[in-house]
Amino acid sequence: MKKITLLFVFLSATFILNAQYQFKVSESNFQFSKATHHGFSIHIYESNIHDIEKGWKKMMKGWGAKVDEKKHEFFADNASFKKMGDNVFDTYAFCNEKSNYIEFITAVDLGGAFLNANDHREITSIYKEQLLSFAKQTTLSALQEKVKIEENNAHRLEKEMNQLVKDENKLENDIESWKKSIIQAEKEVESKQNDQELKKVEIQQQEKTVNALKDKMKSIK
């Protein structure tokens, strides 16, 4: 069941990639650092040159090649891929950065001739399949990384939102507490005012007592 689920996820992701992006291998002559070679190009989306170069280097090493890089052009010496036959070959590759994608360009030196569909139909088809797979997987990996970043951003925003809710709840609780304190204080103010009125009466009575005593003192001569 787990394998079926993973297969479904993979097929769904592949369908979405195909719907959103145009993955097509084109053949033409391309200018490499030392010469013009017949080669292939494909668009890779969402990724960056660094990650594409890293992925291609890993792929070529997986094909048993020794990989050298000069000024962002990669030369893979003596690569071999079983589906393309028993002979070794060399590959050249570099990236061109465009506005919303990166053009990945590669050529294959079979040893005296460069791979092309007219002369090497079968192995060209296989190589194109590998380029398509590389472009789609690189795009998918870049999207997965972006999803991870945005999920972390969403998690951060949720934490900030939760903190705002907590702050609001605390303030509401404080307000309720303050309201109770105000009500209690108002009662105490009213009580103090009543006490003041009573105290005024006591003071007046006391003043009368003092004056009466003073009058008695005046009567003694």
Residue-wise pLDDT tens digits, 80-130? 999 999 999 999 999 999 999 999 999 999 998 999 999 999 999 999 999
217 pLDDT tier (thresholds 50, 70, 90): confident
Q: Per the structure block, which two tokens stand in for 153? A: 């951003």
pTM of the predicted protein model: 0.71
* Residues constituting the chain: 221
Q: Per the structure block, which two tokens stand in for 127? A: 């190589």
**Distance from C-alpha of 90 to C-alpha of 66, rounded to nearest angstrom:** 9
Domain ranges of the chain: 2-149
Residue with tokens 């003043």: 207
The Cα-based distances of 59 to 19, 67, 164 in angstroms read 26, 10, 48
State the fold for domain 2-149: Alpha-D-Glucose-1,6-Bisphosphate; Chain A, domain 4 (3.30.530)
